[in-house]
Amino acid sequence: MISQAMQDYLKTIYKLQNERADVVVVSNSLIAESMRIAAPSATSMIKKLAEIHLVEYTPYRGVSLSEAGEKIALEIIRHHRLLELYLAEALGYSWDEVDAEAEKLEHVISEEFEDRIDEILGFPTIDPHGAPIPSRRGDIYKRTSLPLSQLRVGQCAIVQEVSDQSPELLRYVEDLGLKLGTRMEVQERAPFNGPLLLRVDAEKQYSMGLELASQIFVAIVE
Partner DNA sequence: TTTATACTTTAGCCGAGGTTGAAATCTGGC
Partner DNA sequence: GCCAGATTTCAACCTCGGCTAAAGTATAAA
Q: Which helix (H) or strand (E) holds 70?
A: helix 67-91
Contact call for residues 123 and 187 (beta carbons, < 8 A): no
Instruction: State the binding partner of 43 from DNA, its own copies, none, CB within 5 to 8 A by kind.
Output: DNA
Give the one residue of 2, 109, 180, 197 binding its own copies; rule: CB under 8 A: 109
Q: What is the Cβ-side half-sphere exposure of residue 190, based on CA atoms within 13 angstroms? A: 11
Give the one residue of 105, 176, 200, 210 binding its own copies; rule: CB under 8 A: 105
Instruction: State the binding partner of 84 from DNA, its own copies, none, CB within 5 to 8 A by kind.
Output: none
Rounded CA gap, 120 and 114, in Å? 10
59 binding DNA? (CB under 7 A): yes
29 binding DNA? (CB under 7 A): yes
What contacts 178, CB < 8 A, 6 or more positions away? 159, 162, 184, 200, 216
188 binding its own copies? (CB under 8 A): no
Using the contact rule CB under 8 A, the part of the chain among 62-70, 116-124, 168-176, 192-200 near its own copies is 116-124
Q: How far is CA 98 from the centre of its chain?
A: 13
Give the one residue of 20, 47, 136, 179 binding DNA; rule: CB under 7 A: 47
Which residue, 60 or 192, has its beta carbon nearer to DNA?
A: 60
117 binding its own copies? (CB under 8 A): yes
Rounded CA gap, 220 and 158, in Å? 6
Using the contact rule CB under 7 A, the part of the chain among 36-44, 135-143, 161-169, 181-189 near DNA is 36-44
Contact call for residues 151 and 159 (beta carbons, < 8 A): no
